[in-house]
């Protein structure tokens, strides 16, 4: 009899534990879904990005590009400066489909997975950081902290082989579910990069961080991104997200 | 057939400017705008805007073979690339090189007053073309003018890239082509891309200068003697000349090419066909003129007529990635026109000798290129490529080339060390010790200043003179390059 009670109690405990785990998981999923909704709210967007790269000594180097995005996962990026990178363009499509156009060769080429973890145009961003994505498609979330002002999600890559990170800790403002800080950890669990979103304000009905600073804690370099000329929901044609447009 | 094609091209040429004029109108009225593309303010300007891009490049080389220490190449190149976008439907792009290439070519006192002998400056219109997007149909793009039509997925050396003539002026700038005055049309249908190209008039390949051209020429030994009525006559060559016959400028001799592309998953693939010509001319008529007979030695003049054999090329290529490794490959089946050289020796109208020999066999042959690249976690980039058949090789004389490139970024990518750039050429695997060449090209590049790049490197060539590159083993060089883009 005693034994039966013990087993029943244990089963109940496991069940309760599982239920609370599932609840926590579903709550984490819900939070991340909200983040995705905020970040990918516009039907489409077009903007200009000024990228300033600071080396260890504080020397600056500037790049400019234009970006078109449709929904969450179609993105066309074209460099407009500096002169030696002008015309280089990237087309990012769902399912890790990234194509690059190099005007010097007049050809497009699929970007292989090995390139995705390398630096994007000398910045502290990797191609993985720059790709158009839904966080819910790429990461399993876990709530690390849940406070009135902000909550912190731990994001574990669903496919670890496709990511250079073991996890990302994302701090999100509770009021509007906009991420303010992302901390990237390498495969050894060491904090290697820190991205801070600031100057977050509404453009029309959409929230947008107008400035992002990514610090590479290993090299001591940082990259600032400033957005301008933002336009939303201009009914961008699907034609812009094709290899045909990439080569123009 | 020719008449219809010709008429179509004329109509096409007349229609393009009209389309460009109507471009703004179409957009304003909005009847076709939705079918074609919607105009994005970020990426285009409504009014034509001229943009100037370009670069300035210096390239100096010092031959260091056997302690020679003489300057072997000097190039100062200003590249200007004006570009005009007219709405989102058309654009004009061009590139002009203004160059000072190599050294004074003086050989007499009287030339001192001619600047062209002292400072060799030339202008080279590399490209100038007008492009219309959505021409006649929203899915059709057309480009007319002097243009480079680059095909193939391999790195620089592409067996399927045969529309434009090769530009081998700088032998070490692999894969460089001349632009062709041509028309290119691209039609997009679902996942398929159909490309057609038409080059009305054939342009020959630009060969390297005379000191390098031997590398491209097959070993050619003139006979030392001939049999005449069962007696042996020794030949003494007085004068050897050639006469290059270019293809007639008509439709029959134009270059046609088409390509069909389709992505499969994470791979791009294509098949193509080109009706062109071989890059090197071959003799089809050789006239021998006896000048004098001295005992058993006959002194002769030789005059050969040479022409470019027709070549049909069927190609295929792919590029994609497997396990995060980038891979690519392409192959081209070359089907040459058979060329028979008719050799005759005549004296005062009397034929002393007549002989036919095949200089180009019509037996098809295949050139292949395949490679992979990978970036390691520390940022080192490795690129390896195998090539069967260099651009000038044909028939049974195709060599194998193994090309390795390793780039190591240093100091936050400001410095790039390429310690293992090399190429191994194998002519004959059964006699590899005597039929190989190695080109070793380590290089250091500094990119610490925006838009500027400085490179210093060395090129060391070792190998048998029976291989193309082995013939250049006295061309070991140190090079210093600088490029500034604006």
Touching check for A94 and chain B: CB below 8 Å?
no
pLDDT in the model for residue A198: 95
Evaluate whether residue A6 is within a structural domain: no
Interface of B with A (CB under 8 A): 36-38, 40-43, 53-55, 91, 133, 141, 148, 150, 153, 186, 188, 193, 266-268, 319-321, 323-327, 373-375, 377, 379, 412-413, 450-451, 453, 483, 485-486
User: Cβ(A76)–Cβ(A237) under 8 Å?
Assistant: no
Contacts of B40 in chain A (CB under 8 A): 46, 68, 234, 236, 240
User: How many residues appear in chain A?
Assistant: 248
- How far apart (Å, rounded) are the C-alpha atoms in residues B300 and B292? 7
What's the confidence (pLDDT) of residue A12? 63
The answer to whether residues B284 and B340 touch, using CB atoms and an 8 Å cutoff, is yes
Lowest-confidence pick of B215-224, B402-411, B426-435: B215-224
In this prediction, residue B14 carries a pLDDT of 44
CA distance B392 to B282: 12
Query: Using alpha carbons only, what angle is made at residue B275 by residues B274 and B278, rounded to the nearest 5 degrees?
Result: 100
pLDDT of residue A79: 92
167-196 in chain A: CB under 8 A from chain B: none
What residues of B are in contact with residue A109 (Cβ under 8 Å)? 153, 268, 319, 326
CB pairs under 8 A between A and B: 113
Block residue for tokens 């690249």: B373
Instruction: Provide the residue range defining the domain that includes A129.
Output: 35-246
* Cα(B459)–Cα(B478) distance, integer angstroms: 6
Q: How far apart (Å, rounded) are the C-alpha atoms in residues B420 and B409?
A: 13
Which residues are CB-neighbours of B463 under 8 A, at least 6 positions away?
B425, B436, B437, B438, B469, B470, B473
Question: Would you say residue A233 lies in a domain?
Answer: yes
pLDDT for position B27? 33
The helix (run of H) or strand (run of E) holding residue A36 is: helix A2-39
User: What does the alpha-carbon distance between residue B321 and residue B299 come to, in Å, rounded to a whole number?
Assistant: 63
Average pLDDT, chain A: 89
Confidence (pLDDT) at A114: 82
Residues whose CB falls within 8 Å of the CB of residue B120, separated by 6 or more in sequence, listed in order? B100, B101, B102, B103, B104, B105
Q: For residue A80, give the 3-state DSSP assignment.
A: strand
Residue A24 pLDDT level (bands cut at 50, 70, 90): low
Distance separating alpha carbons of residues B86 and B43, to the nearest angstrom = 12
d(CA B415, CA B420): 15
pLDDT top residue among B338 and A2: B338
Angle of CA points B356, B466, B276, to nearest 5°: 55
Q: Which of A56, A114, A240 is the closest to B324 by Cβ? A: A114
pLDDT tens digits, B83-128: 998 888 899 999 999 999 988 888 888 888 888 888 889 999 999 9
Residue A204 DSSP class: T
Over residues B354-385, the pLDDT tens digits come to 888 899 999 999 999 999 999 998 889 999 99
The verdict on A204 touching B (C-beta cutoff 8 Å) is no
CA atoms within 13 A on the CB side of B419: 4
pLDDT > 50? residue B20: no
Structural domain includes residue A162: yes
Average pLDDT for B440-457:
95
**End-to-end CA gap in chain A:** 79
**Which pLDDT value is given to residue B281?**
92
Is B251 within 8 Å of B2 (Cβ atoms)?
Answer: yes
The region of weakest confidence among A55-69, B8-22, B465-479 is: B8-22
With a cut of 80, say whether residue A89 has pLDDT above it: yes
CA distance A30 to chain B (A): 32
- How distant, in Å, are the alpha carbons of B165, B240, B280, B389, B405 from that of B308? 12, 19, 6, 19, 34
Residues contacting B399, CB < 8 A, separation 6+: B388, B389, B390, B393, B425, B426, B427, B467, B468
Is it the case that residue A26 has pLDDT exceeding 50? Answer: yes
Q: What is the pLDDT of residues A217-240, one digit of tens each?
A: 998 999 999 999 999 999 999 989
ipTM, interface predicted TM-score of the complex: 0.78
Q: Which residue from B335, B343, B344 is spatially nearest to B309, judged by alpha carbons?
A: B335
Per-residue pLDDT of B147-170, as tens digits, reads 999 999 999 999 999 999 999 999
Q: Stretch B73-78: mean pLDDT, rounded?
A: 96
Omega of the bond leading into A82 within 30 degrees of 0 (cis) = yes
Number of helices (H), then strands (E), belonging to chain A: the values are: 5, 13
Q: How many domains does chain A have?
A: 1
Q: Decide if B254 contacts B201 (C-beta within 8 A).
A: yes
Q: Which domain CATH number covers A57?
A: 2.50.20.10
Give residue B310's pLDDT: 96
Cα B122 to the center of its chain, rounded Å: 20
The per-residue pLDDT for B296 is 86
B483 token code pair: 């490029």
Residue B443: pLDDT above 90? Answer: yes
pLDDT at position A119: 84
pLDDT value of residue B44: 47
Dihedral sign, Cα of residue A49, residue A54, residue A55, residue A61: positive
Type and span of the H or E element at A123: none
CA-based nearest distance B322→chain A, Å = 8
Q: How many CB atoms lie within 10 A of CB B227?
A: 9
User: Do A114 and B188 make contact, defined as CB atoms within 8 angstroms?
Assistant: no
**Residue A3 belongs to a domain:** no
Report CB contact under 8 Å: B188, A242. yes
- Say if CB B453 and CB B446 are below 8 A apart: yes
Give how far B451 is from chain A: nearest CA, Å: 5
Nearest to B212 by CA among B271, B168, B154: B168
| Per-residue model confidence (pLDDT) at position A20 | 59
Distance in angstroms (rounded) separating the CA atoms of residues A107 and A96: 20
pLDDT for B293: 84
Q: What mean pLDDT value characterizes chain B?
A: 87
Q: Is the pLDDT reported for residue B229 higher than 80?
A: no
Q: Is residue A8 part of a domain?
A: no
Q: Do A230 and B33 contact (CB within 8 A), yes or no?
A: no
**Which residues of A fall within a CB distance of 8 Å from B323?**
113
In a domain, A148, yes or no: yes
Domain assignment present for residue A115? The answer is yes
**Where does the pLDDT of residue B333 fall: very low under 50, low under 70, confident under 90, or very high at 90 and above?**
very high
Tell which wins on pLDDT, A9 or B457. B457
Q: Which of B141, B320, B451 sits opposite A83 (nearest CB)?
A: B451
Interatomic CA distance for residues B192 and B260, integer angstroms: 7
* Inside any domain, residue A11: no
Indicate the residue of A106, A108, A237 with minimum beta-carbon distance to B37: A237
A4 touches chain B (CB under 8 A): no
Share of chain A above pLDDT 90, in %: 60
CA nearest to B132 within chain A: A248
pLDDT band at A169 (very low <50, low <70, confident <90, very high): very high
Handedness of CA B26, B29, B31, B37 (dihedral sign): positive
Dump pLDDT digits (tens) for A105-150. 888 888 887 887 788 888 899 888 888 788 999 999 999 999 989 9
């Amino acid at each position: 009899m005693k034994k039966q009670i013990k087993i029943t109690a244990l089963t109940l405990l496991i069940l309760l534990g599982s239920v609370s785990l599932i609840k926590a998981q579903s709550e984490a999923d819900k939070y991340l879904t909200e983040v995705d909704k905020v970040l990918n709210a516009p039907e489409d967007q077009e903007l200009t990005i000024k990228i300033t790269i600071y080396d260890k000594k504080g020397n600056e180097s500037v790049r400019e590009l234009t970006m078109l995005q449709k929904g969450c996962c179609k993105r066309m990026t074209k460099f407009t400066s500096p002169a030696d990178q002008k015309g280089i363009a990237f087309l990012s499509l769902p399912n890790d489909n990234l194509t690059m156009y190099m005007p010097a060769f007049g050809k497009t080429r699929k970007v292989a997975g090995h390139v995705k973890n390398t630096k994007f145009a000398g910045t502290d961003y990797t191609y993985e950081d720059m790709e158009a994505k839904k966080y819910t498609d790429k990461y399993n979330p876990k709530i690390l902290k849940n406070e009135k002002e902000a909550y912190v999600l731990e994001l574990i890559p669903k496919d670890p082989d496709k990511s250079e990170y073991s996890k990302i800790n994302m701090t999100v403002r509770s009021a509007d579910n906009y991420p303010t800080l992302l901390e990237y950890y390498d495969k050894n669990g060491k904090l290697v990069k820190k991205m801070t979103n600031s100057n977050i304000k509404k453009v029309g009905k959409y929230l947008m961080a107008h400035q992002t600073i990514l610090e590479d804690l290993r090299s001591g370099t940082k990259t600032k991104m400033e957005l301008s000329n933002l336009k939303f929901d201009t009914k961008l044609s699907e034609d812009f997200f094709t290899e045909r447009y990439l080569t123009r | 057939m020719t008449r219809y094609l010709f008429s179509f091209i004329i109509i096409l040429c007349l229609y393009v400017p009209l389309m460009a004029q109507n471009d703004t109108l179409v957009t304003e009225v909005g009847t076709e705008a939705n079918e074609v593309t919607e105009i994005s303010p970020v990426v285009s300007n409504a009014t034509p805007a001229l943009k100037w891009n370009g670069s300035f490049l210096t390239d100096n080389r010092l031959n260091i073979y056997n302690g020679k220490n003489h300057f072997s190449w000097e190039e100062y190149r200003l590249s200007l690339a004006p570009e005009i976008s007219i709405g989102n439907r058309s654009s004009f792009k061009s590139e002009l090189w203004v160059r000072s290439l190599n050294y004074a070519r003086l050989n007499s006192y009287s030339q001192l007053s001619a600047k062209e002998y002292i400072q060799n400056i030339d202008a080279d219109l590399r490209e100038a073309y007008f492009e219309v997007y959505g021409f006649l149909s929203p899915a059709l793009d057309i480009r007319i003018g002097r243009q480079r039509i680059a095909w193939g997925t391999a790195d620089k050396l592409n067996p399927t890239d045969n529309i434009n003539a090769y530009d081998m002026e700088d032998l070490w700038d692999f894969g460089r082509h001349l632009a062709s005055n041509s028309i290119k049309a691209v039609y997009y249908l679902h996942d398929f891309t159909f490309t057609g190209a038409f080059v009305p008039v054939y342009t020959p390949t630009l060969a390297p200068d005379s000191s390098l051209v031997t590398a491209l020429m097959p070993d050619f030994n003139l006979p030392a003697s001939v049999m005449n009525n069962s007696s042996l006559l020794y030949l003494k060559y007085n004068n050897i000349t050639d006469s290059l016959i270019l293809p007639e400028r008509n439709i029959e001799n134009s270059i046609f090419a088409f390509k069909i592309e389709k992505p499969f998953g994470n791979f791009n693939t294509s098949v193509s066909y080109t009706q062109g010509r071989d890059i090197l001319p071959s003799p089809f008529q050789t006239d021998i003129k006896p000048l004098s007979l001295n005992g058993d030695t006959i002194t002769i003049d030789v005059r050969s007529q040479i022409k470019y054999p027709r070549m049909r090329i069927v190609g295929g290529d792919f590029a994609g990635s497997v396990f995060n490794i980038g891979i690519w490959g392409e192959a081209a089946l070359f089907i040459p026109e058979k060329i028979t050289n008719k050799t005759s020796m005549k004296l005062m109208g009397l034929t002393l000798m007549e002989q036919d020999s095949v200089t180009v066999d019509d037996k098809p042959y295949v050139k292949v290129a395949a490679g992979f690249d990978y970036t390691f976690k520390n940022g080192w980039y490795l690129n390896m490529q195998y090539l069967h058949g260099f651009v000038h090789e044909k028939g049974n004389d195709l060599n194998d080339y193994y090309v390795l490139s390793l780039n190591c970024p240093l100091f936050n990518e400001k410095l790039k060390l390429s310690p293992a750039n090399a190429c191994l050429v194998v002519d004959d695997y059964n006699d590899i010790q005597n039929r190989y060449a190695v080109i070793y090209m380590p290089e250091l590049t500094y990119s610490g200043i925006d838009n500027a790049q400085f490179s210093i490197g060395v090129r060391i060539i070792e190998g048998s003179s029976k291989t193309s590159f082995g013939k250049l083993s006295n061309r070991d060089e140190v090079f210093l390059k600088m490029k500034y883009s604006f």
